[in-house]
Structure 1
Amino acid sequence: MGRVRSRTVNWRTVLPVAGGAVVLGLGGLYGAGLAAGDDIAEGTRVRGVDIGGMGRADAQRVLDRKLGPAFAAPVALKIGGRIEKADPGALGLSLDAAATADRAASAGSGPVTAIGRLFASGSRDVEPVVRVDEHKGRAAIDRIAAAAERQVREGSISFEKGGAKATAPVTGVAVIEDKALDTVRDGYLRTPHAAPVVMPVKQTQPRIGPHETERAMKDFAQPAMSAPVTLTLADKRIPIGPAALGRHLTMKPDSANRLVPALDSQGLLADPAVSRPVRDASQGPQDAVLRLDRDDRVVVARDSGVGRQVTAKALGEAVVPLLTRSGPARTGEIAATTLQPRFTSASAQRLGIKEKVSSFTVAFPRAPYRSTNIGRAVELINGSVVLPGQEWSFNRTVGERSKENGFVDGLMINNGQYVKSPGGGVSAVATTMFNAMFFAGVKPVEHGAHSFYIERYPEGREATVAWGTLDLRWINDSPHALYIKAESTDTSVTITFLGTKKYDEIRATKGPRTNIKPPATRTGSGPECEVQTPLEGFDVSVGRVFVQDGREVKRENFDTHYTPRDKVTCTPEKPAPASSAAAGGSDAAPATATSDSTPLG
């Protein structure tokens, strides 16, 4: 038998040799992997598109063809409950296929990955590269956000055509713009995707929500419009229908965010559907009316009476509680304010109105416009009470002589001839008032005579008025009140002052005509031309003499200058008036009138 001899291995020699062989082997594998480096690793996919084993150029073409349309499709953006679609190009977003291919290739260029590529099996996903133009993207999002923004809308209730209408509340939505671009980019990276990109938004909830709107509609609005309400005042009934109520009814949120009713009482009171029946149910106060008996003593022709008035405040307080009721309960009383008369029979006694102080009458030819205008002025003047020291004004008392104030067109003097104008003829009232004032002995403040003389008036003792330029004013400088009684017929006007006489008697004097000027002749034309008879111009002085205890205690002079009244003919010719006096007696440009006062011991 032979002997087995054991051999000892020299590991110091074997290990370096073996290690070198491994390195050479791995190096060879890495080199082989690098040799395949132009190819993208097998199993590499981008959004499901397989580009494994392709070169970069081929991979780019495949990605453009297969993913390009999806990345170019409009992006759906969800802003609150609204969907907006935007073109990726407009958003500054696009697929970079070349960069994506580079990313896929570079992912396998490391030693481990390169060697592993030779033995790889399965798949590997690579995220696409997206190109972003931030400036363009932010501008596009700003536009989209502005268009899609939704203002918060409160729940509300309105009233139209006798019915109630609820407006649903809307939550306010605004895009949070500093986060929007990143959100859009992240959503775009998920392409192709089915779900819209949910934009970051700030929502503002309305204070008046759907529940409160529904409650207010049910509890108040619908009952309020269900039927008319009826107010009672004395024996009068004032019905107010839903249409009139709705025109002046609103619902507004209070501090607790509840809708509460608000009634525009002033507007409701002025509404024609309400103002007419309210006016019929109301009544103004009646002043006492005085007259003279057969012995010229002051007596009461009609006693005074209180009035009643409905105020806006009372109307609102009466209406609002009825709006939520039904049936007969929608009828209720309204409180009226009591109006006291300004002048009573007791006032007359207290103010010393006990006798006739003065009276004057002016006659005039019958004409429809005179009856209307003189009658209207008398209506406005009659019953005036002028207290001691108080000033009376024709323009303030009568007002503008306009159609709205009850006056019609009549003749007046303008530029030395007759023309038609609203209120013509009221100078007959002014002349009558001037003479009543003259013979009452009270103090004149402002007056003016007609530019030329009108024969039916006293020379130098007549007056005209013109709205805005000439007034007839006087002051009651007596120690007692004066009551003015004015009345007219179709041919005359009379004004009487009642009170307590300050002087026993007032006398009038008149001097001769001086500075006489002959009239000229003029020709007019057109529909406004009025034929005019001639009359000379002149100056005249009138005296007012104050008599007390049988002797003269004071004298005043009134100097008046009248211009000539030219003869006017019209072409084609119009017939002349029956007399110059028949044409006159209207508002007119004034003559020059002055007065001086000389007290006597």
Structure 2
Amino acid sequence: MANFFNFGRMKKGFYRVAKKYKWVFLSVSLPLILLFLTILGFSLFYRNRIFPGVYVVGIKASGMTTDELQTALIKAVVFPEKLVVFAKEKSFDLSLHEIGFGYDYDKTVKSAYSLYRSENFLLNFLYNLQSPFQKREVNLVINIDEEKLNEYLQVVSSQVAVEPIYPNVVYQEARVVVNKGVAGEDIDPKAIKKKLENKLSRRDYSRVELPLKNIDPTISDDEAGRLQERAEKLIGKTLNLSYEYTNIVLKEDDLFKLLDPHKSYNGENILEFTNKEVALKVNREPQNAVFQFENGKVIEFTPAKNGITVNTQLFKDQLIEKLTFLETSEEKTSTLNVPVQTAPPSITTEQVNNLGIKELLGSGVSTFRGSIPGRVFNIGHAASKLNGVLVPPGETLSFNSAVGEVSTLTGYKQAYIIKDGMTVLGDGGGVCQVSTTLFRAALNAGLPIEERRAHSYRVAYYEQNSAPGLDATVYAPTTDLKIKNDTPGHILVQTIFKPEEVTLIFEIYGTSDGRVATITKPVITSVSAPPEDLYIDDPTLPIGQIKQIDYKAWGAKVVFDYEVDRNGETIYEKKFVSNFRPWQAKFLRGTGPTN
């Protein structure tokens, strides 16, 4: 009973408290309810509309749906066909169409609609409270084709820019000269694009001043001094770049261009050199084989060749290694075999014939700088007689038989030959350049040499890219070059005549049986001085006139060994001995009357 009365008293007390604070509760809750209902109504109304306070380039967008805003923008926004841009008091017309300019209304509308909307409910609530009381401007989203803009700016740059002069090293009058460089300036494409985007997004079509950037590659006196010291270490040094028949020789000035005043070597210059000089001469597309055989001779032959591409990164690394070696050592020269990547042809040499012509067995190269035009012509003419010659297995190739008669009747011109102990003009001068090159190809192919004779004296042509003693003279019918085909298939002789490069190349194709040829370096075992100059009286020349008709050459005995191995067994070996006589300089001395 006591508990019942206590509960009653508590209930009465609660009602008294509730009655006393009723107005306090209502004064707090009603505004919150009203605020909630207001925000709810606000959110429902603007669920698919842009919030208050949002303007797009001055156009009031609040309350609009995205479709309504896009329609309004398309009607309101009109832009000119061109802008006027200027730099250094020079003005240019910029066609907005040519740079792919346009407004992206879809993205612009989405940007305006996304204002005050996020995944965070609390932030959305705060945005909804603030949006009616603050103004937010949204710029137009624009599109510009950056590539087309850069093309246009290149034209402007050509009329505005001041080209900097980069530091460089040259070799002048036997001394190293370092030019420290000169600063220049040019337009700044990135800054220009940013400026254009800023103005156009605000519908500002006024004149645009193009930002310029300073380009200062100059180096200090200390840097110039260090660069000079490095360059001086490269004086008199060469770097040979080689791949197949391509040979590029870098001398002082070439090496100087690759030096960098700030670091070891100039990567940009190396890349430019790789692309413009090396890759241009080395790279090639895959070459499919072609083979046409008619009347016992191949009338058209194109060997299959892999496509070749210079391995740029590896070449750069190896080139820097070679440059460092030359710069830090006493060696005067170094050779770099250009690293490449290959791609196979779709038709191989083996697929286009059944004669066993599958692969390159060996090649020979010679150069003929300084030859008179008649000699150059004869070299090409004689080489063409050997191009496409097939030699069956077990047969011997005779140079004289393959070339045939050498005379003016067979198309040859007059050039210098050795005859009766003198150098005189004669039919077919230069044919020995061809026999010499074939001899070298046969050696590299590992073929037996059945007959070969060296020249009477050392001839400068045959030592331009070779040691002495690797020549072969011919003179029908007494002196021939004979090469035996002891391979399992036919061999095919191909000639490549490059008069513009004063180069002749022989290639021998066939079936490899695994043989490997070894040619020792020719050794000069003895030398003999040339006789005293000989003067011959000539009444056809006026008295006192001297005309040289022959040039002196030292005599020498040159020896090299030739060995051919297959599967560890020697199948052919021979010692080649060349006895070059000393050669006398001869002069005609005029004894005739003066005019």
TM > 0.5: no
- Place the TM-score, normalised by the shorter chain, in its bin: 0.3 to 0.5
Q: Name the TM-score, length of structure 1 as normaliser.
A: 0.38
Q: Name the TM-score, length of structure 2 as normaliser.
A: 0.38
Higher-Rg member (1/2)? 1
